Structure formats: C-alpha cells, structure tokens
Structure 1
Amino acid sequence: MSADQNGVRSVPKGGMLYGEYLMLDPLLSCVEPVTRSLGKEVHDEHLFIITHQAYELWFKQILFELDSVRDLLNKKNVSESNMLVITSRLNRVVLILKLLVDQVSILETMTPLEFMEFRNYLSPASGFQSVQFRLLENKLGVKNELRVNYGKNHYINIFQDPKIINLIKKSEEEPSLCDLIQRWLERTPGLQEEDFNFWEQFKNVVTSMLNEQNKNAEAENDPSIREQMINDVKQKVKTFDTIFDETIHNGLITRGERRFSHKALQGALMISLYRDEPRFNQPFHVLTSLMDIDSLITKWRSNHVQMVLRMIGSHQMGTGGSAGYQYLRSTLSDRYKVFVDLFNLSTFLISKEYLPLLTPKMKKKLSTLTQKQDSDEE
C-alpha cells in the first residue's frame, strides 16, 4: 500500500492485508531501544518504550474523541439528538483512561535496579514533554494560572519546536470542554424566570428546610446537643450562601476553588436533582462521565507518582530537570481537577421531600419535546 505526498493512502485493487491496513511495518519499527544500538541492550528498556508509545496512541484517541464532543457542543443550540453520541464518546474516554490507569502496573514489573541500567540515556527526555498530554489537559480545561510550574519555567517553555508551541497555544485559546459544558448547562430548561425558575424555588425550599432544622435544634432539651445542632445549621446556612450569593461564588472562582459560572452551577444542580426526568437522563450521564474522567486522570497521576517514588525515590531530579517525585506529587491537588464543581454538588443536594414540584408545563417539557422545540434546537 502507498501514500501520496499529502499522506493520503491508496487502496490496491486486490485490497489490503492486515499488516498493510494497520501499517505495522513502520509502527513496529519504532520500538528501538537505545541500549541495543550501543551494543549493550537492557531487556526492560523495550517494555519502557512500548508502554509509553501505547500511552501516546491512546492519548491520540482521547484527543480524537474530545475534539468530536467539543464540535458537537460548540453550537448555539445543542441538538438533543446528539446527546447519546456525546455520552457514548465520553464513556469511551472513561474506558480508555481506566486502561491507562491499569497499564502502570505493567510498567511496575520493572525493578528500580533494572530501570537504573538505562535511565541515564533518557535525559533530558521526560514525560512532561508529551505534547499530546498537554493538549489533552488544555482541551479539557486545565487553567494555566492553576498549574504548578515546571521548575521555574512555565510549562510551554519546555518545548522548542515553533509548530508545537503554536499548537499548544491554539489549544489554550480554543473553547475547552469545560467552557462548552458551562455554556450548555447555562441553557438548562427550567432556569428561565418565565419558565419554572428553578433557582428561586430551590432557594425558597432550602431556606424553609434550614428554618425547620433550626427550630428542631432550639427545641432540643439537652444543652450540649442543642448547641451542636444549632452550630450545624449555622454552618449549613454559610455553605448554601456560597451558591446563593453570586459574589461569594465568584470569589471562590477567583481563588481557584470553583470553575463553573453561577448559571452553569445552577444548571448542573437542577439536572442532578431532577435526573429521573426523561429529558435529563442523558445530561446526568454526561455529568457523571465528566467526573469519571477527572477522577481517572487524578488516579493515573497518583499511580504515576507512586511508581516514580518506587523507581527513583523522593529526592532524585527527573530526567527532564524537574524535581521528580516532589513535582509530580504537587499535581495531585484539586487545582488540576477541571470539573471540581460537579464533585461538590453533593454538598447542596436535598432530599426529595423538599424538592420543588415541577409545574405541569415544566413536567411536560422534561418528559417529551414538541416538534417545534425539537426543530428550534437543530
């Protein structure tokens, strides 16, 4: 099988064989240990190369899926007919990430002593130089201002190729998945004042719920228990104020503790509370998949940190010049979680007995779409 100057493949009349279709000859020829070319091959370097090449192939697939989802979301109105496709592709990313988490254990079959036999040949190479992983972070929505600097440098300074630098800068400028999810959530049915006005109703029922809990606390006969109960209610009031008061919410965004706009947070909370309504089924699964993606990337980072600790200890420098284990450990904080707001939604969930009842009009809107609504969202 051949390809033209633009890399477009041509199919021979007799069709392609397995190896030709998958281009196995060029693919497999990429596995070439450095120690082999030096005439003193280290057995485990082969595993090291294969594992990291496999990561890069899966990163390529994740980027392919994320780009397709971002394209579907990057519209004025997201067609409801695309929600199953979006859910399916995000779930595929989740399954790939599970595979990548498990793949670390294969690399750990290599002992620290075996790794030391070829580690010196890696410098200044480092996983930090993975262009695709940086693109993945940016396209998900990791904020530059929340990143931990690589040594004393901004992460982009590690790259030298102008084409790569431009590619990374472009990924920073494009709407991230987090940006697009927020736009989509801000249009959640029921947030509009002329419609169900979920937010006002939610604030009213929460206020009534907390007033009721405070009355119960004050009626408690045991002074120590009463004081504890009253303090618990006061703390709940303060907690709910962080979402009811937009100024407080925006302050938390400035401090990096939240990511979503106030309106997007309202949409996410409404979907979570009314997830049993047919029209919110798929959106709820989307939110769940986003949390799974965040969790699995954090788990992958954690497994990687533990593997590095096992291989080089806690005080050796990384091959690329970073602080090694110490730097990697700093990437495990919530500052790298893109959808941290979704994890925090559980703080603000209320039991069904307090949930505002949907109006007949809203109930119908969340049950089925009229032809007019469907056409409006195309």
Structure 2
Amino acid sequence: KLNKILNAQELESEKKGKKIHDEHLFIVTHQAYELWFKQILWEMDSVRVIFQNGHVNSSAGRVFNLVKRTSVISLILKLLVEQFSVLETMTALDFFDFRYYLSPASGFQSLQFRLLENKIGVPQSLRVPYNRRHYRDNFKGQDHELLLQSEQEPTLLQLVEAWLERTPGLDSEEFDFWGQFEENVLKGLEEEFALIQAKAESEEKDDLLSEFQKQKDVLLSLFDEKRHEHLLSKGERRLSYKALKGALMIYFYREEPRFQVPFQLLTSLMDLDVLMTKWRYNHVCLVHRMIGGKAGTGGSSGYHYLRSTVSDRYKVFVDLFNLSTFLVPRHWIPKMNPSIHKFLYTAEYCDSSYFSSDDSD
C-alpha cells in the first residue's frame, strides 16, 4: 500500500491550472507529521493500556516498557520539532503563492494532534477557546465523535496519578515519610534562621532574612493540603495531594534500586511535556514567519491563538517540573530504616495493585 501513500500528494494549485512548486513540499511535510502522529498515538495507547491493566512492575519490565515507549514518543516529537526547519526553507512569499489554494484547510484541524492532547491529559477547562468556539466544534461527524470519546477515556495524567498514589512505602506503618520529612524541614528551617540571626546587623542580613522567609513560605506550603486542593481547583496543580507525595518520594529516593526506573519514567514524562511545548513554539514561529499577524487558513486567529497555547495551561505534568521548587539539603530527607528497606524489597509487597509478573504487552 506504499503506492497509496506516495500518490497522496494532490496539489490544489495544479488542479486550478497553476502548479506551485513549494506546495508539494508543504503537503509532504504535513503528511509526514500525520504519519508520525499516528505512531505516537499507537505508543500512547499502549502505555495507557499497561497502566489500566495494573501491570506496572519494574522487576518484570513493566515500568521499563513504559519508559521505553514514552521515550519513543519523545524521540518522534524531537524529530517533528526539527522538521519545521524544512518548511522554513520557504520564504513568506513562497508560501503566499499557494496559501490561497489551501483555504479553508487549517493546521488546527489536525485531528490526531487533538486526540494526542486529550489522551495525554490537557484539561478541557484550560484550553484556549478557538475563534470563541469549543475546539471540538471545528470537527464534524466521526472526527467529532472520536474527540468526544477521547475526552471520556482515562488520560495518561489520571493513570500516572493513580500509580503515584500507590508508591511503595508511602503508606507504610514502618516509615512515616511525610511526617518525618515535615519534621526535618521545620528543624532545618529553625537552624537556618538561627544562623542568620547570629550575624551582625547589616544590609546583607536583611537580604538573607528576606530570602529565608520566601524559602520558608514555599516549603511550608507543601504541607498545606487545603492550599494544594485550592491550587488544584484553579488548574495550577494537576496531581492529587497523595500522588504529589509519591512523586516527591520517588524524586528523593531515586538512587534506591526500587525507585530508579520509576524515576526514569517521571523524567520521560517531563521530556514528553517539554517536546510538546517546543513543537507548539516552533509551530507558532513558523506561522508568524509565514503570515505575520494575519488570520490563518480556514479563518483561524492564526499566530495570536497559537501563541496563547505555548504556556503551562497546556503542560500536563507541570507538577513534576515544580518538584524542584521543594529541593532541600540531602540531610533533611528522612533516612530509610532497615524495616522500610526490607518492606520495599520483599515479595509480600508485590500485589497486583502496583505490581504484576504478567508481561504479555
């Protein structure tokens, strides 16, 4: 069926009796994007199936498979980010020669990219309205139904959240990670405050006290569950409070064998988010280069709309990036006692809620 793909480039300008050379490049590049989007969706669906089946076990290769497949997605996105440079070989005037023939088509009409956003977990409430309409209203028939269905399926964000809530050791009676962490932070802050207070009065001391207060407010906010729920309701945080605890536990103990591969997975999810943002940014730059501030093909608001999508509103795993906000000196991190070490590495903990020896996917 390769012939069908190779013969799918129909130049609208040629149909109108005036073949424009660069339209062929434009069509091939966009078709290549769509083929890669299809592969990304294939990988994304397999990742979600693994999470949904509850088969997430680093020793059985499950988390490794998740890392592998999310890494494949990231590598494809990296390729797609670079692919914009091919289109940038055209000047704005070259594009203008055939732009008229593209209307009413619009780059916004990529069904697969919208499906990808939904499957990853871009919140519907945070989407920027497109021409003052719901984004789904720009699609008809089966495409509209596919988008609606994708909105109702569990997102990657939701599945990762549920997985993080089951982080090994988070609810252990042998080791109160969160309680000990809060205690260590309070003690560490007291010690830092005492060191600053011992300094002679000076402008430098005032600056240190000001910075200390900012650091203290940030760290103590981490232990305020009501504040977290408030930020969650505003869309400024995405993970549940318990999932955030799990992510921070993996982050702090990433050198422990049990958490090494889960940490790689969290890193891979961040890479995915970064590359999605880079893709949007490069798309914005290309549109601005080609049409300036004019409306896009299909009557879209073009550059100004696309620019508004390059923000944390569309960053799904923003909480993972913000973990660095709560970095503390290593000696503030609670030490694992022998009981929790044994707990993490015994077969008794390997229940189906977090682990599985099944490796059929």
Fold shared per TM-score above 0.5 = yes
Counterpart CA distance in 2 for 1:108 and 1:90 is: 28
Question: Conserved in 1, the CA contact under 8 Å of 2:284 and 2:303?
Answer: yes
Q: Report deviation, 1:265.
A: 0.6
Of residues 336, 346, 351 in structure 1, which corresponds to 2:329? 351
What TM-score comes out, normalization by structure 2 length?
A: 0.94
Contact 1:196 1:359 in 2 (8 A): yes
Q: Which amino acid aligns with 1:67?
A: D
For 1:207, the equivalent position in structure 2 comes to: 186
Deviations 1:127-153 (A, max 9, x none): 111110000000000001101000110
1:26 matched residue in structure 2: 4
- Aligned AA for 1:300? W
Partner of 1:306: 285
- State the 1:256 CA deviation: 1.6
How many residue pairs are counted as aligned between the two chains? 352
Report what 1:129 is aligned to.
109
Q: Is the 8 A contact 1:243 1:262 kept in 2?
A: no
Task: Please tell me whether residue 221 in structure 1 is matched to residue 197 in structure 2.
Answer: no
- Shift of residue 219, structure 1, vs aligned partner: 1.0
**Aligned counterparts, 1:100-119, within 5 A:** 100-119=80-99
Matching residue of 1:53: 31
Among candidates 44, 48, 53, match of residue 70 of structure 1: 48
Is the 1:246–1:262 contact (alpha carbons within 8 Å) kept by the matching residues of 2?
Answer: yes
Which amino acid in 2 is paired with 1:71? V
Query: Which residue in the other structure is 1:342 paired with?
Result: 320
1:223 CA drift (Å): 2.8
Normalising by structure 1, we get a TM-score of 0.90
The alpha carbon displacement at 1:189 in A equals: 1.2
Q: Which amino acid aligns with 1:351?
A: P
- Counterpart for residue 266 of structure 1: 245
Q: 1:301 & 1:168 partners in 2: Cα distance?
A: 20
SS of 2:330 mapped into structure 1: coil
Residue 182 (structure 1) shift:
0.4
What fraction of aligned residue pairs are identical, expressed as a percent? 52
Trace 1:160-171 onto structure 2 (pairs within 5 A).
160-161=140-141, 163-171=142-150
Shift of 1:303: 0.8
Q: Is 1:99 aligned with 2:79? A: yes
Instruction: Output aligned runs, 1:115-264, within 5 Å.
Output: 115-161=95-141, 163-264=142-243
Q: Secondary structure at the match of 1:25?
A: helix
Q: Distance in 1 between matches of 2:180 and 2:347?
A: 29
Q: Could you report, residue by residue, the CA deviation over 1:134-179 in whole angstroms, capped at 9, with x for unpaired residues?
A: 0000000000110100011010000122x21111111111110000
Whole-Å separation in 1 of the counterparts to 2:212 and 2:53:
42
Q: How much does 1:77 deviate?
A: 5.9
Q: Distance in 1 between matches of 2:206 and 2:170?
A: 37
CA-CA distance at 1:193 after TM superposition? 4.7
Match of 2:349 in 1: 373
Q: Describe the superposition over 1:20-66 as per-residue Cα deviations: whole angstroms up to 9, x where unpaired.
A: xxx21111111111112222110100000011101101110111001
What amino acid does structure 1 have at the position aligned with 2:159?
Answer: L
Match of 2:66 among 86, 89, 92: 86
Q: Report the Cα offset of residue 85 of structure 1.
A: 0.7
Superposition map of 1:38-49 within 5 A: 38-49=16-27
Cα root mean square deviation, aligned: 1.3
Unaligned runs of 5+ residues in structure 1 are 1-22
**Aligned to 2:297, what secondary structure does the other structure show?**
coil
Change (3 A) 1:267 1:334: same
Instruction: Using the TM superposition, give the Cα deviation of residue 76 of structure 1 relative to its aligned residue in structure 2, in angstroms.
Output: 4.5
Match in the other structure for 1:5: none
Greater shift, 349-358 or 244-253, is seen at 349-358
Farther-moved stretch of structure 1 (216-225 vs 200-209): 216-225
Letter in 2 for 1:209: G
The equivalent residue for 2:359 is none
Choose which of 332, 348, 355 in structure 1 pairs with 2:310.
332
CA distance in 1, matches of 2:295, 2:351: 58
